[in-house]
Amino acid sequence: MATPHADPLRIDGRRILICRPEPEASRLAQCFRAAGAEARVLSLIERDPLPETPERRALILDLDHFSHIITVSPYAARLLLDELDIWWPQIPAGIRWYAVGAGTAAVLADQGLSIRKPACGWTSEALLALPSLAQVKGERILLVRGENGRELIRETLEARGARVSLLPLYRRMTPTYKPGHIKNLLGDFAPEAVITLSGETLNNLIALCANSGHNLYDRLLIVPADRVAEQARAAGFENPCIPGSLADNDIVATVAAQLNGQNGGSGKAK
């Protein structure tokens, strides 16, 4: 009788540390647990909605004056939809809607919006390569994001002649944890893979390791893009890896492929 092959997506007993914000962190942890892993959450970014201001209200009420609206994250998209539900009984027609990645696009598409997103990739660079954003001289663009976000989209579109308005809807903060909690997760738990899906999260992890004396530089590190992989290598991480996409199942599949020694799997080591 033939011996059954091991399931390549099973990672029974493997230890995974997830540094995403909530609720995405707990959702991803459940996916890892379904694959047999021990998954713990150590969110290194917290997000809080910003209070309403007259300037923000004016931008929302002027929504129909914009040709393009770009949302950079699922969280930004959800907060924007909440605002539109208050001020716009019906979302204005004639606007081109954009999402940096598939997760953000899904939030907007659930409201019946037709979304433009990169065919490949989920970065600001990939978004800016869309043909409909190539010739935008004189056009008004609303960029929906967090406070103090990355400036590449705004700067690039302004260089192309667009009039870009920023709509910050939330702030990001670094949470504080007690030393015993850090020791438990970084030391006693000793993760084999760490999930850091933004450059800011990676920076917070680097600072946490330095301040607590824990060394995770030889662990598998899941990062979202080449730019963050380069940042990780410069900091001393030996094995940054980019998943096939930022969907939960693809992240789990990438970690499984790497930990099971199938490096040609869903992600690419950088």
190: left (phi over 0), alpha (psi -120 to 50) or beta: left
What is the token pair recorded at 55? 């300037």
**For residue 265, what pLDDT is reported?**
44
For residue 267, what pLDDT band results from cuts at 50, 70 and 90? low
For residue 119, what pLDDT band results from cuts at 50, 70 and 90? confident
**For residue 6, what pLDDT is reported?**
59
Both ends of the chain: CA-CA distance in Å? 41
Is 1's pLDDT higher than 50?
A: no
For residue 196, what pLDDT band results from cuts at 50, 70 and 90? very high
**For residue 36, what pLDDT is reported?**
95
For residue 162, what pLDDT band results from cuts at 50, 70 and 90? very high
* CA–CA separation, 126 and 95 (whole Å): 20
Q: What residue spans define the domains of the chain?
A: 15-45+175-269, 48-172
Across the range 4-8, mean pLDDT stands at 59
Q: Are 11 and 35 in contact (CB under 8 A)?
A: yes
Instruction: Tell me the pLDDT tens digit for each residue of 45-91.
Output: 999 999 999 999 999 999 999 999 999 999 999 999 999 999 998 88
**For residue 214, what pLDDT is reported?**
85
**For residue 212, what pLDDT is reported?**
86
Q: What is the DSSP string of 77-94?
A: HHHHHHHHHHH-SSPPSS
Same fold flag, 15-45+175-269 and 48-172: yes
244: left (phi over 0), alpha (psi -120 to 50) or beta: alpha
Is 172's pLDDT higher than 70?
A: yes
What is the pTM (predicted TM-score) of this model?
0.85
**For residue 101, what pLDDT is reported?**
84
Per DSSP bridges, beta strands 68-71 and 140-146 are: parallel
Region 48-172: CATH code: 3.40.50.10090
Region 15-45+175-269: CATH code: 3.40.50.10090
User: Which pairs count as long-range contacts for 129-134, CB under 8 Å and 24+ apart, including other chains?
Assistant: 130/98, 132/68, 132/96, 133/68, 133/98, 133/157, 133/160, 134/160
